[in-house]
Structure 1
């Protein structure tokens, strides 16, 4: 019978899969090293097992110990699987920008998860680097993994991923492209491949908000380049010891938007249900088009699985909120299509100003149409109320008809955005859209700006 003695024996030997449609305009053959076939669904399984085995061998990790690590999710999963088989406990520290799915998966395999804020300095005691170190100091019989500086990280890819790529391409690989986070994958694979053929080019994919690209090109660690970003699993605000810049021929940066869009495209066009960094990686390959010829064989590594991003990159509402879905918005109907099911908030002429204020607070809006039995007869907005309150502190007891200004303009659903924009001025902050069912919706300046 042929079977694995435990789940850890299934790590590695992942397939190379050709990318067909997204790379059709490139002159070269593009193959993906499809790491989701690992049991923890990511390339991190390789280095997680290697780091544990090396720590066991030299006594850093003792029987019954607790494994502590700061992770974006995938390393934690690999460590957790090995810990289950080998009998260790796990505590993982994760930043709050990571997907809920990642946190839930880590808890599902028995790990304790501690969530830390993303937008703090690495040296801040609240950062996931600092919290990981503190927990390791406070927890008896624990081992702090530190994947960023742990040499076993890169060694795992030197010993397994690199040789697999070389063998699977029959030594014909000419370029290796991969997203860079801890640096273990690019450094381990890059070292092995360049030992086989020094002419192989190794390219890192970076993200905006990370320091790698500029540091590689100039040697300057520019703190002004550090700012929050959405892309998960790549980029850093530190320089991990595992990043061997001497092995890297260059970096290309990919935006959060492109990373998210191409993550969806891989699924919808290639049938590859992958994680956020895969979108960055394939867009990075496309950005490097000028570096490839018809004889080249480009291998791009895809780190993890799409199931960890269902609530984010694969959720159109999440994508739309961040401006990552480019809906075609040209008319009034396009602007209000997401609010058609909501009733328009209005106020009657005989109601008191206090009623309007209550509705503004409840619905978090800045302007309200005023109506009577004949239809819309006026409007009121927060600027009016503020100005009038300064003049009269008892304004809240006045009827709306005494403080309202002229009604908002009403347009048809097919009115062009350009025409609507011209209706906004110093005295008018909104436009009403009449829909086919006779109801109305409101368009504000903010709606116009959001559409842009």
Structure 2
């Protein structure tokens, strides 16, 4: 137990920082290095972003760019916005947060609970699109009297607070015994600031990144882990990375698939009693790899950004996970049992291909429809569902000129099922007989319930096959 005499604060903001370090006991590999986790959800606003939010506001006040009666504006997937809304409530500012539509309902509710105005915008748009979260927040700040854009992506107060606080805390809490720091990068502020301090003590810094994130060399396609990594829309003209992220701070990167991340999140809750978000699961999954490599003489610390309480509708919802192919239903027959074993392989055509090029792909193709996808590397065998923009058939292209882009002729986005769903339940869901017939990951529910309608089959959130509804039994 901790001290009977806890700290006494004159404001909730005094509680930001000095978060506990907790040792993992049951999921660390045998013979591996001890793994300790920095429990950043213990901050009063519930995440590591409280540190940056408070630091950015105090810096803005000191520089005179945020004045009494002003409005704090930020583009955020949730946590920085929540931290800023909390700070705004204490210090008497209005707060406007621009958030991607895919942000969890729990985060949106928290923002509004603190009194913030929430402006939702599409999350999967090109960087130059005026609806992009950063562009929209910038415009709102410029048009709001007394508006101040926090700009977590370019504000040096973001990484600086971690150099001044998070890094020294970890060094002191481990008695200088830490050998490896593992942290993810969203804006890059946490790993940059913390890593800079710990590098001075010879600590190896490891970046944990979603497998398809651009930071670690992925193709930038969508992934199912909020608030970490770098998505790149294929129509973005210039791939802009956060100015605060020093990409040289990490000695190496561990690229972690979504399935490994989300199963680690579940294990942390059920085996360690730690209810955390997916970015924390990502960091721990990477830390377990580092632990196995470092051996018993090492000491690994992973930064856990936030709590799982704001992801109950996603990462801890069995139906959501099963529909996306991350989890198996408790009873069969499962979708994959009905379809039979086969290697993942989705034949596709990019939306930018000409109609004649698409016809060439369709020649000899036997599926119910051909998926049309965002123009990424079409040699891939699995696809992020938001990158599937529709389907075509030979019949749908009858009479269409051959030199135009085929994407303009794509039909509806197919429905989707998880490979581990109960096949009977999946058929019922697709027929619209129960709520939630639409795909949980943002894919539409498709056309009517015809037996020849195309259906994507998902494994760990990615489409691996396209079948007809009739194939499900």
- Measured in 2, the distance between the counterparts of 1:189 and 1:288 equals 18
Equivalent residue number for residue 298 of structure 2: 296
Deviations along 1:70-129, one digit per CA (max 9) or x if unpaired, are 111111111111111110000001111211111111011100001111111122111101
Please give the residue correspondences for 1:105-144 in structure 2 after superposition, counting only pairs within 5 Å: 105-144=110-149
Equivalent residue number for residue 253 of structure 1: 255
CA shift for structure 1 position 336: 4.2
* 8 Å contact kept, 1:117–1:126: yes
Please give the residue correspondences for 1:371-386 in structure 2 after superposition, counting only pairs within 5 Å: none
For 2:230, what is the secondary structure of its paired residue? coil
Decide which of 68, 78, 81 is 2:83's aligned counterpart. 78
Task: Select the structure that is richer in helix.
Answer: 1
Distance 1:226 1:51, change over 3 A: same
Stretch moving more, 255-264 or 79-88: 255-264
Please give the residue correspondences for 1:288-367 in structure 2 after superposition, counting only pairs within 5 Å: 288-289=290-291, 291-327=293-329, 329=332, 335-336=422-423, 338=425, 364-367=448-451
- Measured in 2, the distance between the counterparts of 1:73 and 1:43 equals 12
- Is 1:444 the counterpart of 2:470? The answer is yes
Structure ID, larger Rg: 1
Distance 1:22 1:66, change over 3 A: same
- Measured in 2, the distance between the counterparts of 1:134 and 1:22 equals 46
Distance 1:323 1:172, change over 3 A: same
CA shift for structure 1 position 26: 5.0
For 2:425, what is the secondary structure of its paired residue? coil
Equivalent residue number for residue 279 of structure 1: 281
Stretch moving more, 252-261 or 72-81: 252-261
CA shift for structure 1 position 291: 3.5
- 4+ residue runs over 4 A deviation: 327-337, 339-342
CA shift for structure 1 position 146: 0.7
Equivalent residue number for residue 265 of structure 1: 267
* 8 Å contact kept, 2:32–2:292: no
- Measured in 2, the distance between the counterparts of 1:260 and 1:240 equals 26
CA shift for structure 1 position 341: 8.9
Decide which of 141, 145, 158 is 1:153's aligned counterpart. 158
Equivalent residue number for residue 234 of structure 1: 228
* 8 Å contact kept, 2:19–2:43: yes
CA shift for structure 1 position 363: 10
CA shift for structure 1 position 150: 0.6
For 2:276, what is the secondary structure of its paired residue? coil
Count of residues in Structure 1 that have an aligned counterpart in Structure 2: 350
- Measured in 1, the distance between the counterparts of 2:225 and 2:31 equals 25
For 1:288, what is the secondary structure of its paired residue? helix
What's the Cα RMSD here?
A: 2.7
> What TM-score, normalized to structure 2?
0.69
Deviations along 1:153-175, one digit per CA (max 9) or x if unpaired, are 00111111111101000011100
> What TM-score, normalized to structure 1?
0.72
* 8 Å contact kept, 2:223–2:258: yes
Stretch moving more, 309-318 or 118-127: 118-127
CA shift for structure 1 position 287: 3.2
- Measured in 1, the distance between the counterparts of 2:203 and 2:66 equals 37
Equivalent residue number for residue 353 of structure 1: none
For 2:206, what is the secondary structure of its paired residue? strand
* 8 Å contact kept, 2:28–2:291: no
Deviations along 1:29-66, one digit per CA (max 9) or x if unpaired, are 10000111110110111111000000000111111100
Equivalent residue number for residue 213 of structure 1: 216
Equivalent residue number for residue 52 of structure 2: 47
Q: Which runs of 5+ in 2 are unaligned?
A: 232-239, 339-420, 433-444, 455-466
- Measured in 1, the distance between the counterparts of 2:284 and 2:89 equals 34
For 1:299, what is the secondary structure of its paired residue? strand
Deviations along 1:156-205, one digit per CA (max 9) or x if unpaired, are 1111111110100001110000111111110111111112x1x2100111
